[in-house]
Amino acid sequence: MTELGREKLKVLIRRAAIQKRVREVAHQITKDFKGQRVHLVGVLKGACIFLSDLVREISLETSIDFIAVSSYGKDKQTSGQVRVLKDLDSSIEGLNVILVEDILDTGLTLNYLLRILQQRKPSALRVAALLDKPSRRIKEVKGDYVGFTIPNEFVVGYGLDYSERYRNLKDVCIISLPPD
C-alpha cells in the first residue's frame, strides 16, 4: 500500500502481467485480421498508453487516430452525458476499425462512440479495452478484446486517471480516498 497525500494506492495488476496480456491481445488481433490493415482509434486520454503498447505488438499494416470525449467531470461520478471534444482526423469508411478504450465501465461512452462510428461506414468495427468492470453496466456493450475483467473498484495507472493524476503509474492500482 502506497500513500500519496491522503489517497491510498494498492496494486491490482502488475506491469509484467499487463505487458503479457497486451501481447496476447495484439496476437489475437493479428490473427483475426490476417493479411489486412487495421486502423486503431484511441479514446483520449485514458487509452493512449494501452494503444501505444498494443500497436507495437500487432504484426499487420496499421494506422492510428484519436478521438476525445468527455463523460466524466473532475470526480468519480458519471454524468451520463457524452460529448465529442476532438473528432477523428480522417475518414474511417471501408477501414477495419478497432476502437481502443482504457476501461469499460457503465458502457455509456462506448455505446455512444459505436453509434457515431458505425454511421461512418467502417468495414469492421471492434472494441479493444484494457479493463472491463461489467458490474457497473448501464448500457449493454461488450469488448471484443478485453485485457482484464476487474471488480467494482476505482482504478488508476497505465493511462487511467483520478482528476488527471496517476496516468503515469506502471501498474494498475486501486485508489481509495479517505472520507471527507
> Binding residues for ligand IMP, per CB under 6 A?
46, 71-72, 78, 101-110, 154-156, 160
- Residue 65 binds which entry of ligand IMP, Mg ion, none, CB below 5-8 Å type-dependent: none
Can you tell me the distance from the alpha carbon of 30 to that of 143, in angstroms, rounded to the nearest whole number? 17
In the three-class reduction of DSSP (H, G, I as helix; E, B as strand; rest coil), residue 49 is classed as: helix
- Smallest separation, CB 53 to ligand IMP (Å): 17
Could you tell me how far CA 126 lies from the centroid of its own chain?
12
CA distance 167 to 3: 16
Give the dihedral sign, CA 32/34/148/45.
negative
Nearest distance, CB of residue 179 and ligand IMP, angstroms: 19
Q: Which of 32, 65, 75, 105 is catalytic?
A: 105
Query: Which residues bind to Mg ion, rule: CB under 5 A?
Result: 46, 161
- Beta carbon of residue 119, minimum distance to Mg ion (angstroms, whole number): 25
Query: For 91-136, what is the HEC assignment?
Result: CCCCCEEEEEEEEECCCHHHHHHHHHHHCCCCCEEEEEEEEECHHH
Q: Tell me which residue has cell 479517505.
A: 178
Is 102 annotated in the active site? no
The binder of 154, among Mg ion, ligand IMP, none, by C-beta within 5 to 8 A per type, is: ligand IMP
Interaction partner, residue 96 (Mg ion, ligand IMP, none; CB < 5-8 Å by kind): none
CB of 72 to ligand IMP, least distance (A): 5
**CB-wise, 31 or 136, nearer to ligand IMP?**
136
Q: Which residue lies nearer to Mg ion by CB, 144 or 161?
A: 161
Q: Which of residues 46 and 157 has its CB atom nearest to Mg ion in the complex?
A: 46
Dig out the grid coordinates for 156 from the structure. 488508476
| 167: its cell numbers | 496516468
Residues with a known catalytic role: 105
